[in-house]
Amino acid sequence: MTREPSPALTPGPSATVVAPAPPVPPRAPATTAARGQLASLVRALRHLEGRRLWIGLGLLVLGTLSEGAAIMTFLPVLQLVGAQGTTIDLSGMDFPGAGLLPAMIPLGVLLLVIVGLTALQAFFNRSKAVYLSDLIHDFTNHYRTALFRDVAQARWAHVARIPRARIEHALTGEIERLYLAAYLVLSSLQNLVSLGLYFVLSLAISVPMTLLSYGFGVVALALMRPFRRLARHYGDRLQARREGQLAAVSEFVGSLKMARSMNLEDRYLGLFSSILGQTKADAREFTRQSTIGSGLFQFAVVSGAALFIWVALTWAHLDVARIVILLLLFMRTAPRFMGMQGAVQQLLVDLPAWGAITRLQDELRAERDPAMAGHDPAPAPRDEIRLDRVSWRFPGESREAVSDCSLTLRAGELTVLVGPSGAGKSTLADIVMGLLEPQKGAVLVDGAALRPGQLRRWRDRTGYVAQEPFMINGTIRENMAIAAGGPVDDERILRALDLASAGFVRNLPAGLDTTMGDRGALLSGGERQRIAVARALLREPDILVLDEATSALDWENEEALIRAIDGLRGRMTVLAITHRPAISRAADAVFVMEAGRVVASERPREQGLQAEGYLGRMTS
Ligand SMILES: Nc1ncnc2c1ncn2[C@@H]1O[C@H](COP(=O)(O)OP(=O)(O)OP(=O)(O)O)[C@@H](O)[C@H]1O
């Protein structure tokens, strides 16, 4: 059986000791990594959504300009304050765009212009919001599907080593955080663009007052740097805590039955509570510190506004209309400065998710299975599949799992692999199925070596039944349809079930509509196993690989399944891995593996059981 990745908690002898929570990374010395990640996220956004990004920002510019123009229109309107009449004399007024307007203009017209500009701003803002929402969804979905594809296309030997929890977390939680990070990048960009536009507009009203207010904002942002560094550290810690949480949950759910039977619930609960407690303590500390930051920032903004009014009235000697307009602009820019600080701070918390996604993606892409690109036809074996001195060593392991093995599977026969646990049987079967490409030696089909470009089509010719077959929480029909890759008619399903001695399905009250439960839990192990065999047969494979497929069966069901496999003789080549003697007795050929090597072989149907042979000893 393929080794599963390392668990977060390995049950020990005591059921009361709480295992230590996974370590969190040491405090990062600087934000260089964050800058690099931010730059790469912005590059990715530009690369994938560049055109749409510009259009979205274009809509934002139009919205902000409409709003700015509406505010500016108040300037002549305010001239009427304290004056008589409803006509405004624009001659001699100095404001941007004044030259384009007639000398006298009725108040009603200007008010209508303001209403119109505000409506236009609402329209542009709405279009921009919808546009950018689509953009962020598409961007995140791109990474979701790309990661999905990368997992599916990486070499099996590599994927098998990655903890399932890491892949699941990347495809779910991390992607959601990427969505948030992309949203925050866009919102910071929008704030920047808006601040730039308001800067130009307020320059037109008063250069010194604009420089004063913006200088104040920029200094306040710079002073917030320590709080951003804090957010970055918190983001890293949160990342590690989340991974720990997920590993604990995934391990607990995966071993639910074992945990319950061994009274390990408290132990898992202890681990989980300890991680949650640490996450809460981190969150409290972060909130405590970061709220000091936002409080200080708010204080700075209000002080800035006070200073602004004081300078405007006592030093710049601006007229009331200009002060009002500048204040209106100030009221729009101040929240944006605050928004920038908040968005960047939150972005730094979520940015590690982007790092985790790209790291996993790079890792998977470096291990892309070359066979996935090949679509060369692979031949169906007519006479034999021969493994010629094949070897395989798992990455990072010192010992070869399969070492210099040669054996022949004759077409249409039942070949059995036996041997102690860890002997390399499953690895050898993976080589036969084309999941692993031998590092030495070759797989020959009727004398011709299988080429990497043929492996994908070769896998189409194989059917595989694992020791613990995967079942979805659906009906028997839905579980069977997985193998066919789409809807399949009931007659075909029932024929496959009969062939796998799973005829009991016909007698179930709901028949093919019977619900199998999560991972098939509502059926017995034997029933699940036979449905799994039937599912593999539905593909009408040329090569059927059964990995301990009879291990969950009682002798009666095992006999029935062996009879079914017997019936496949001549129709397909069957390779069965087993520890049970019954299936070996029915085999045409039996190969014995030990420590990665084939150490003996027998042909029990032709020669009978050799007393001194492996089978003889196994059954004596
Ligand atoms: N993904 C993996 N990474 C590293 N080593 C692995 C991996 N899968 C299997 N091995 C190692 O390769 C060797 C052969 O394993 P394999 O699963 O092929 O044995 P097996 O004979 O099928 O065992 P069992 O009967 O217990 O299923 C073992 O030492 C095993 O620990």
Kindly list the structural domains of the chain, giving each domain's residue range(s) and its CATH number in brackets, ordered by start: 36-366 (1.20.1560.10), 384-619 (3.40.50.300)
**Maximal CA-CA distance, the chain:** 121
Residue 486 pLDDT more than 50?
yes
Q: What was the pLDDT predicted at 408?
A: 92
pLDDT of residue 444: 93
Tell me what pLDDT residue 16 has. Answer: 33
- List pLDDT tens digits, range 493-520: 888 888 888 878 888 888 888 887 767 6
* Ligand 1 pocket residue status of 314, Cβ below 6 Å: no
Q: Is the CB of 586 under 6 A from ligand 1?
A: no
Place of tokens 């004063």: 212
Q: How many residues does the chain have?
A: 620
Residue 10: per-residue pLDDT: 36
This model of the complex carries an ipTM of 0.95
pLDDT at 32: 61
Distance CA 386, CA 413 (A): 13
Q: Looking at residue 467, what is its pLDDT?
A: 78
What does the pLDDT look like over 164-181, one tens digit per residue? 888 988 998 899 999 999
**Confidence (pLDDT) at 20:** 40
Q: Is the CB of 425 under 6 A from ligand 1?
A: yes
CB 333 near ligand 1, within 6 Å: no
pLDDT at 9: 38
Closest ligand 1 atom to residue 429 Cα is 18
Range name among 180-184, 258-262, 341-345, 437-441 with the lowest pLDDT average: 258-262
Instruction: Find out whether the beta carbon of 187 lies less than 6 Å from any atom of ligand 1.
Output: no
Q: Is 457 in the pocket of ligand 1 (CB under 6 A)?
A: no
Kindly state the percentage of the chain with pLDDT values over 90.
16
- Report the Cα 86 to chain-centroid distance in Å: 63
Q: 154-167 pLDDT, tens per residue? A: 988 888 888 888 89
Cα(588) to ligand 1 centroid in Å equals 25
Least confident of 108-122, 205-219, 544-558: 544-558
Q: Give pLDDT, residue 163.
A: 84
| Position 321 pLDDT exceeds 60 | yes
- The residues that bridge with 410 in the sheet, in sequence order, are 384
The answer, yes or no, to whether any atom of ligand 1 lies below 6 A from the CB of 397, is: yes
Is the minimum distance from the CB of 386 to ligand 1 under 6 angstroms? Answer: no
- Which of 174, 196, 189 minimizes the C-alpha distance to 135? 189
Cα(253) to ligand 1 centroid in Å equals 24
Ligand 1 contact, 217 CB (< 6 A): no
Rg of the chain over Cα atoms, rounded to whole angstroms, equals: 35
CA torsion, points 572, 460, 364, 143, in degrees to nearest 10? Answer: -140
Q: Which one of 393, 426, 578 would you pick to mutate in the ligand 1 pocket, going by the greatest count of ligand atoms within 8 A of its CB?
A: 426
Ligand 1 centre distance from Cα of residue 600 (Å): 20
pLDDT digits (tens, 9 = 90+) for 178-203: 999 998 998 888 888 888 888 888 88
pLDDT, position 302: 79
Q: How far apart are CA 212 and CA 522, in angstroms?
A: 72
Nearest C-alpha neighbor of 403 from the set 416, 387, 417: 387
Vertex 201: Cα angle to 197 and 204 (nearest 5): 145
pLDDT at res. 389: 93
| Distance from C-alpha of 286 to C-alpha of 294, rounded to nearest angstrom | 12
Helix (H) or strand (E) holding 300: helix 265-314
Mean pLDDT confidence for 134-163: 90
Residue 467 CA, closest ligand 1 atom number? 27
Given a contact cutoff of 8 angstroms between Cβ atoms, the answer to whether 488 and 540 are in contact is no
Q: Both tokens of residue 62?
A: 């139009």
pLDDT of residue 369: 85
Q: What is the pLDDT of residue 1?
A: 46
Task: Give the distance (Å) from ligand 1 centre to CA of residue 357.
Answer: 28
**Helix (H) / strand (E) containing 464:** strand 462-465
What value does the mean pLDDT take over residues 125-143?
90
End-to-end CA distance of the chain: 26
The C-alpha angle with vertex 299 and arms to 296 and 304, in degrees rounded to 5, equals 125
Per-residue confidence (pLDDT) for residue 25, from 0 to 100: 40
101 phi, psi to nearest 5 deg:
-100, 155
Q: Given this model, what pLDDT does residue 518 score?
A: 67
Which pLDDT belongs to residue 50?
Answer: 81
Containing 546, the helix (H) or strand (E) segment is strand 543-547
Task: Give the model confidence (pLDDT) of 429-480 as tens digits.
Answer: 999 999 888 999 999 999 899 888 888 889 889 988 887 778 888 888 888 8
User: For 572-596, what is the mean pLDDT?
Assistant: 86
Does 138 have pLDDT greater than 90?
yes
Work out the mean pLDDT of the chain and round it to a whole number: 81
